Amino acid sequence: MGTDHVINHRESLIDQVKDLGLEPRYVASLSGSDGHFPAIIELIKPRGHVALIDDPQTLDITTGKQKALTFSWEFMFTRSMFQTNDIERQHELLNRVSELIDDGTLVLTVTKNLGKVSAETLKTAHSLQESGRAIGKNVLDGFH
């Protein structure tokens, strides 16, 4: 899926990253941030940047103070929800992503198309997600 290194989130992130000789300056925490946070803090370089998109129940960012880390959350709908003065930027970004997909620079992470939406395909999709072993995105057709 376009990576240089693969880290198994079920095993020690710290050991795997150190074994690769990596010390990240930027971390994108997309899911399970609360569970992975201690490892992120240990592994990241001083003055690094952690960006999150998920909703951890609790997250004590003071643990990043000694490394002078920067934290930010990204939420796709902030501009439209709050009518920010840079709302036009959302349009520009979405158009740019569309161009990158069309020219093949960005590759979609769809791994399975489960067919038309139905009770059965919804159960299958839900089961795959619950397994914790889904790679990429499972999609359903027929939403109008």
CB–CB of 128/122 below 8 Å? no
Compare 142 and 120 and report the one with higher pLDDT: 120
Average pLDDT on 112-116 reads: 91
**Residue 34 belongs to what domain range?**
1-74
Stretch among 41-45, 52-56, 60-64, 126-130 having the lowest mean pLDDT: 126-130
Decide: pTM greater than 0.85: no
| Amino acid in position 84 | T
Strand partners, 139: 113
Any domain includes 142: no
> What is the overall mean pLDDT for the chain?
92
Any domain includes 135: no
Say which CATH number the domain at 16 has.
3.40.50.720
Any domain includes 28: yes
* Residue 10, C-beta contacts closer than 8 angstroms, at least 6 positions apart: none
- Quote the number of domains for the chain: 1
Any domain includes 25: yes
